Structure 1
Amino acid sequence: MRLFLSAAATVLAFVPGQAFAWGKTGHRVIGKIAEPYLAAAAKAGVKRILGAETMAEASNWPDTMRSDPAPFWQREAGPYHYVTVPKGKTYAEAGHPPEGDGVTALRRFAATVRDPKASLADKQAAIRFIIHIIGDLHQPLHAGNGTDQGANDVRVTFKGRSTNLHSVWDSALVDEEQLSYSEMAEWLGARITPALSREWMIADPQVWIAESTALRDQVYPTGENRSLSWRYIYENTPRMELRLQQGGVRLAAYLNDLFKRQRR
């Protein structure tokens, strides 16, 4: 596929230690929540490209492929999973690095979906990346502050287990619920009222990132206590669930806009 053969020699390697966002369950939840909010054109467009593959199934593909030895995966795709926004700045003020980031990748893959000359394989890769990146940008620590690799460097214990803060948000909080992705998507989806879905139906990545950076600065443990247990779970599970819900609605909003533009 051309998409994977065009890695530029000048791009930087993926930052070591950068964890996956949401883990497999969280990404699947976002894909599943998005489904009922897809407009007819978006639903048909996704079906035309992915076939029988659901958005929940497609959502983890960019993480699964990270071990592929191809240059695209080893030298180019890593930064597409996150953005860096120093505290006190907006994404627009910070700008994107030369190697790109989640926002520039979204633009790239949206252009591939719209390109009538792109192969089906490239369109499939692009849709899978779009689904995944939108999930990533709703994980608050994937809008990193530029000082600690998205809190990968922030060592904590979670219910007595040594880990890092990024990993807590990727998977520990989600897995603490002990639900399958379909159960969690059903429960969280049922709580999204029509008013909330209208309020959240925003296709602008900079809005999502501003929300993530605001939340990011609230989820770091305070003081010297890095032992996270029931209090941290109690305070942050609603925040985690909100971002999964919003991620699902925003995924639909972005795809609705993408396929509406494609028809013009």
Structure 2
Amino acid sequence: MNGKPSRGVEMTYKAVLIAATVAASLPSPAAAWGQLGHRVIGEIADERTSGKTRAEIELILGEEDLAEASTWADEERSNPAVFWQREAGPYHYVTVPEGQTYAEVGAPEEGDALSALDRFVATIRDPDASREDKALALRFIVHIVGDVHQPLHAGSGDDRGGNDVKVRWFGDNTNLHSVWDSKMIEGQNLSYTEYATWLNRQIEPIETIAWWDANPQVWIGESTRIRDTIYPAADEEVPNLGYAYQYEHLGTAEKRMQQAGVRLAAYLDWLFGVAVLPG
């Protein structure tokens, strides 16, 4: 060996470099909830799925729990593979203009979170799909259920889900999407297991029954209604958000994580044959 890579290796390096360059030039899609929120949702769901569902998940993911699986679809965003750089971006959100419903709008040609759910459900149920493909599908399903419960991941199509809405959060420059993804909940200084235990304990049995709905269009409808109430007043060019905004909206963000955890359990139970999808 002379230390010089072979032509095949050189071509691989070039392909990776080109893909990475292309990825860097593309607009970066938003990541709902950040790691903390997604893991809270996964942890809540892990406590609520049926025994059969947990066994089905273990056949696909092994020892990996739902909290760990929940962030994988965001962690792979830098993967130079064509799927991640050219295809998977729209799978994290839906677009529903104000005054309309998802049923009226539907998925765009490039797909969205809801069309991706259909695709990944089909993979899980395909007896010929590999375990690797099923693992990708299942991890993405876990992630998408969390995504569409974040109100700004059901965007209106006007401002990239609040990414274009510049704000200050306790004096630091950021945007509205980031406030909802992470800043409000990370400011509570809780680990995901602490946060999940606390929020799970607060869910009343009557709420579990009311929220146990495996229909994604219901979740999206809730998110769009909330979305239209969380924009700060446009009385200054860059609103300075802080305690008053947090007092008004933190409870909503926490409720959406609770609902997402319950709905993720409901969806997985349906996916693996424990329940029937309504509607």
Note whether the superposition's TM-score is higher than 0.5.
yes
- Call closer, same or farther: CA 1:22–1:194 in 2, change over 3 Å: same
Is there any run of 5+ residues in structure 1 with no aligned partner, and where? 1-12
2:120 pairs with 1:129:
no
The counterpart of 1:81, out of the listed 70, 89, 92, is 92
- Distance in 2, matches of 1:35 and 1:27, equals 12
| One-letter amino acid of the counterpart of residue 235, structure 1 | E
1:158 is matched with 169
Question: In the TM superposition, what whole-angstrom CA distance separates every residue of 1:207-257 from its partner, at most 9, and x where no partner exists?
Answer: 000000000001100132411010001011100000000000000000000
Computing the radius of gyration from Cα coordinates, the structure with the larger value is 2
2:81 is matched with 70
- Distance in 2, matches of 1:223 and 1:58, equals 38
| One-letter amino acid of the counterpart of residue 250, structure 1 | R
1:240 is matched with 253
2:13 is matched with none
The answer on whether the counterparts of 2:96 and 2:155 sit within 8 Å (CA) in structure 1 is yes
The higher relative CO (CA closer than 8 Å, separation ≥ 6) is in 1
Instruction: Give the TM-score taking structure 2 as reference length.
Output: 0.87
Is there any run of 5+ residues in structure 2 with no aligned partner, and where? 1-22
Question: In the TM superposition, what whole-angstrom CA distance separates every residue of 1:131-151 from its partner, at most 9, and x where no partner exists?
Answer: 000000000000000000001
The counterpart of 2:201, out of the listed 181, 190, 193, is 190
1:254 is matched with 267
Runs of 4+ residues over 4 Å off in structure 1: none
Instruction: Give the TM-score taking structure 1 as reference length.
Output: 0.92
- Distance in 2, matches of 1:92 and 1:165, equals 26
The answer on whether the counterparts of 1:18 and 1:152 sit within 8 Å (CA) in structure 2 is no
Count of equivalent residues: 251
- Percent of aligned positions with the same letter in both sequences? 56
- Distance in 1, matches of 2:27 and 2:99, equals 25
SS of residue matched to 1:196? helix
- Call closer, same or farther: CA 1:261–1:110 in 2, change over 3 Å: farther
Question: In the TM superposition, what whole-angstrom CA distance separates every residue of 1:106-159 from its partner, at most 9, and x where no partner exists?
Answer: 010011111110000001111100000000000000000000000100000000
2:59 pairs with 1:48:
yes
2:111 pairs with 1:117:
no
Question: In the TM superposition, what whole-angstrom CA distance separates every residue of 1:18-70 from its partner, at most 9, and x where no partner exists?
Answer: 32100000000000000121112211111111110010001000100000111
2:217 is matched with 206
The counterpart of 1:146, out of the listed 134, 146, 157, is 157
